[in-house]
């Protein structure tokens, strides 16, 4: 039965219950692992799913970072070095990917703690995830602080892209399902995806 959840009612929910409830309202997301290094070259890896396509030319991607107290390392490393990698997650390593969200101290590598493999490609200072079949590097363009709740919108330009060309469809779309890449919702749930249509560009 359709129920009305007033904001008052939502406010009375237990804190974590409310966080999950609200976080799921924006629906399915693509979870990714963001790989960075600090100025000492120490690696960091963390899972993020608030990712948006900002434009194709130039190729820009944005993501939302929590307040610094809650998620300090990725943002600080990106600001310090200007580079990062984004790596898609397959069903085969969701447990390790999820574990990167744990609050490890600075200088502790989530690669080491989770068993995921850091991969250096070309002259990119930031590590890629070897297990990931679709990954790319970015350079920082802008960090926009959102004053209302102390979060940050981090904007980067894509520099290099690595993926199996068999995933590229005739029209340029990527068949991420073929690579077993997962979707996520909120902070706890992961989904296998199933394409139901490819529709042509709509005209009036």
Ligand X SMILES: Cc1cc2nc3c(=O)[nH]c(=O)nc-3n(C[C@H](O)[C@H](O)[C@H](O)COP(=O)(O)O)c2cc1C
What residues make contact with ligand X under the rule CB under 6 A? 31, 44, 46-50, 63-66, 70-74, 98, 101, 103, 184, 187
Least distance between ligand X and beta carbon 76 (Å): 8
Rounded distance between C-alpha atoms, residue 119 and residue 126, angstroms: 9
Q: Which is nearer to ligand X, 66 or 113 (CB)?
A: 66
Kindly list the distances between the CA atom of residue 36 and the CA atoms of 70, 103, 122, in Å, as whole numbers in the listed order.
Answer: 17, 16, 15
Least distance between ligand X and beta carbon 36 (Å): 8
Least distance between ligand X and beta carbon 57 (Å): 25
- Judge whether 82 and 75 are in contact, CB under 8 Å: no
Least distance between ligand X and beta carbon 90 (Å): 14
Q: Which is nearer to ligand X, 32 or 124 (CB)?
A: 32
Least distance between ligand X and beta carbon 1 (Å): 30
Q: Which is nearer to ligand X, 102 or 173 (CB)?
A: 102
Q: Which is nearer to ligand X, 8 or 138 (CB)?
A: 138
Q: Which is nearer to ligand X, 15 or 203 (CB)?
A: 15
């Amino acid at each position: 039965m359709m129920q009305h959840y007033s904001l008052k009612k939502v406010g009375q929910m237990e804190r974590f219950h409310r966080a999950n409830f609200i976080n799921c309202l924006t629906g399915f997301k693509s979870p990714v692992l963001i790989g960075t290094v600090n100025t000492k070259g120490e690696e960091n890896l963390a899972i993020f799913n608030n990712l948006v396509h900002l434009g194709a030319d130039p190729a820009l991607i944005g993501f939302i970072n929590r307040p610094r107290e809650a998620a300090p390392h990725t943002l600080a490393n990106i600001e310090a070095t200007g580079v990062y990698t984004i790596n898609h997650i397959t069903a085969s390593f969701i447990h390790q990917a999820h574990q990167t969200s744990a609050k490890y101290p600075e200088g502790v590598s989530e690669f080491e703690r989770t068993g995921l493999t850091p991969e250096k490609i070309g002259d990119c200072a930031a590590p890629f995830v070897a297990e990931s079949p679709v990954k790319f590097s970015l350079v920082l363009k802008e960090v926009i602080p959102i004053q209302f709740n102390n979060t940050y919108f981090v904007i980067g330009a894509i520099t290099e892209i690595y993926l199996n060309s068999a995933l590229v469809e005739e029209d340029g779309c990527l068949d991420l399902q073929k690579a077993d890449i997962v979707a996520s919702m909120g902070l706890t749930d992961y989904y296998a995806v199933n394409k139901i249509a490819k529709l042509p560009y709509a005209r009036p």
